[in-house]
Structure 1
């Protein structure tokens, strides 16, 4: 097996700057607590080596201090990259040691960092005076034309937004992107809103093929919401896509993934290896490009965000028969965490499950609570992989009956 080539000095400077951000940006621990726990020691190790490298030279110490003072400021990061590249070119021994530290850490981290060369934190220019920026009000798609027949693809989106805020904005952007698809089979869209009342019915009813309201107060239950959508609307559909409401897809998303299932012999797949969780300026720019400017996709060069390594959810494509064979999602999972890991593991046990390497853009929104008040994960009591079709699934009246 050949040894991978040594990274170039500019690339090494870029990676070291990324580690400075990962070690010091408070957004990193908040994006995924379990991923942070597995990665933190590796960030700290590289950052400690970087601190030693820059400490004795003002030309590198100053931009490094600027990054630590504000890890979100792109200009400070570009300045640190340039200063590091110049210093490392003069000190090849230090460069070799730092390159080894980065290579070792890269093997273990579960959260990485992306800063596009053309990223700017400035809000995108308005496309018209009436639409100063994408919002729940201005980003609404026109009524969706209904395809004839059941279609080959059913896209099921679970949803709740009690504030009518960024989650709603993101869902509308998602729906506009799904309405702008080229080629591929007919696809139908189901949004399942679970709440104490149908808050979003009027906004969504004309934008999707099926709006399903499933009454449930208390913690959000994504697993149950997905099952309700599949059972209620995907009976005659060979392929199902479970899509989070905060994912912005490209124009060929449906055609590409339907073909993968049609031409392959696998039972399910995830479209990505790294999910890019965008900051708010990148989210606004992505929505403006994809929705308002009708771009086929969003170039990563204009984006900034945190990369999550192989998360289990967000976008899962599955043969509908395989979904039913495993009993759908485990409806005992409530609140944040665990349901995606569980269903992907059960799908993989029942049929071949693949991962592709498409970009996955996750739009910004407030982070949910990840643990109960006592610090214990919401679903720590559930035995993974213990759900089966015999439990019954997708009962729209389940939580009404339970509280009656």
Structure 2
């Protein structure tokens, strides 16, 4: 049975509104340019079906949402009108409904906007002055090692602000702070953020590179050169905003027999700028255990391979870490996940993972990422991984 017949008019109306937000909102493209590019044929087909249907009110609501895709009111109005149309004439709207569900189920992008979302909210301008939470000095072996690759040389400093929020959230956990070690590896042509990082993290490492950002090599450097070793590794992007139980919940998952690694989420919630400000305020300033989804707006990247991967140190070393040939955005995370799935029992959970907004650096050429020429599953290094001196000449 087709989704619009199985789930009914209300769900179908929302599918129409969601699909058109994905079509028009730049934030959907920033969440994942590759998936967004692949979805455009489907969203264009939906627009044609709405035009062919010939309902003036539905057409006007569509134009309103396309003009302002961030408006919750415009999204709600279009969803309500589409629901009413489907409810009144299921057969007459079959093509329109089918086009909407094709986008929602095939594009690998979804949409959420809460009733309490405030699109006017702005980031805390005082993020540099947040109270430092330096971990207590200890040399005991931790249970988990969290490695965060990082670079920010922009004027906006958005990624640096996100990193501080990420580190502040990691400093507010339900397990003792000495049970996990946080290493930030800054890879750049010059060190810029050491003092800021060490307000919150156990360790800052610098990996010189004047080339496009290489997440894989940067992560490998953090694993190879950390001051303290741990049996469990977490590769975490600096734009992640984790909840208070993040470390406890995920380290305990390794107690499940046979577990060598896992992803703790299925769909990545890519927040827009206002929602990022709300989430950071709730988690880092107000001290909530997790942000309230009702106050947030996000694009869901379905089955995203990146942002956060947990793996035993033994398994990470057995697959030679991340593939250091990848530079720039795209495919490096899926390559690691595929190799882990071949190497060990690899699980996937369904936690909510929040990605804070930043201007996208991703680029596509003819619809492909800059790394599309690199064969997946082909990493076979001939030298030790994570060499800090790799780009020093």
Relative to the length of structure 1, the TM-score reads 0.89
Match of 2:21? 21
Task: Tell me if structure 1 keeps the 8 A contact 2:34–2:369.
Answer: no
Instruction: Give the length in aligned residue pairs.
Output: 391
CA 1:327–1:235: 2 relative to 1, 3 Å: farther
TM-superposed deviation, 1:390: 4.0
For 2:362 and 2:106, how far apart are their aligned partners in 1? Answer: 26
Which residues of 2 match residues 44-55 of structure 1 at below 5 A?
44-53=44-53, 55=54
TM-superposed deviation, 1:51: 3.4
- Judge which range, 204-213 or 31-40, deviates more: 31-40
For 2:5 and 2:90, how far apart are their aligned partners in 1? Answer: 15
Match of 1:68? 66
Match of 1:128? none
CA 1:3–1:22: 2 relative to 1, 3 Å: closer
Task: Tell me if structure 2 keeps the 8 A contact 1:16–1:50.
Answer: no
For 1:88 and 1:385, how far apart are their aligned partners in 2? Answer: 46
TM-superposed deviation, 1:89: 3.1
- Matching of residue 199 in structure 1 with residue 169 in structure 2: no
TM-superposed deviation, 1:280: 0.3
1:231-284 CA deviation, whole Å, 9 max, x = no partner? 112763100000000000011111111111122412111111111111100000
For 1:188 and 1:239, how far apart are their aligned partners in 2? Answer: 10
TM-superposed deviation, 1:389: 5.2
TM-superposed deviation, 1:97: 5.0
Match of 2:55? 56
TM-superposed deviation, 1:78: 1.7
Which residues of 2 match residues 231-246 of structure 1 at below 5 A?
231-233=224-226, 236-246=229-239
CA 1:100–1:376: 2 relative to 1, 3 Å: closer
Structure 2 unaligned spans of 5+: none
Structure having greater relative contact order (Cα 8 Å, sep ≥ 6): 2
Task: Tell me if structure 2 keeps the 8 A contact 1:268–1:318.
Answer: yes
CA 1:250–1:118: 2 relative to 1, 3 Å: same
Match of 2:150? 159
Task: Tell me if structure 1 keeps the 8 A contact 2:189–2:208.
Answer: yes
Computed over aligned residues only, the root mean square deviation of the Cα atoms, in angstroms, reads 2.6
Structure 1 unaligned spans of 5+: 125-131
Query: Which residue of the other structure, out of 141, 145, 151, is the alignment partner of 2:136?
Result: 145
Query: Which residue of the other structure, out of 85, 88, 101, is the alignment partner of 1:87?
Result: 85
CA 1:375–1:139: 2 relative to 1, 3 Å: farther
Which residues of 2 match residues 327-338 of structure 1 at below 5 A?
327-338=320-331
CA 1:5–1:256: 2 relative to 1, 3 Å: farther
Match of 1:41? 41
Which residues of 2 match residues 267-278 of structure 1 at below 5 A?
267-278=260-271
1:272-320 CA deviation, whole Å, 9 max, x = no partner? 1111111100000000011111111112222112111112110000011
For 1:133 and 1:387, how far apart are their aligned partners in 2? Answer: 42
Match of 2:274? 281
Match of 1:296? 289
- Matching of residue 392 in structure 1 with residue 390 in structure 2: no
TM-superposed deviation, 1:69: 1.2
Task: Tell me if structure 2 keeps the 8 A contact 1:140–1:172.
Answer: no
SS in 1 for 2:146: strand
Task: Tell me if structure 2 keeps the 8 A contact 1:267–1:322.
Answer: yes
Match of 1:127? none
Match of 1:307? 300
- Judge which range, 92-101 or 159-168, deviates more: 92-101
TM-superposed deviation, 1:104: 3.9
1:88-140 CA deviation, whole Å, 9 max, x = no partner? 3333334555444444443311222222232220217xxxxxxx825542446
Task: Tell me if structure 2 keeps the 8 A contact 1:277–1:307.
Answer: yes
CA 1:134–1:360: 2 relative to 1, 3 Å: farther
Match of 1:116? 114
For 2:34 and 2:367, how far apart are their aligned partners in 1? Answer: 13
Task: Tell me if structure 2 keeps the 8 A contact 1:134–1:169.
Answer: no
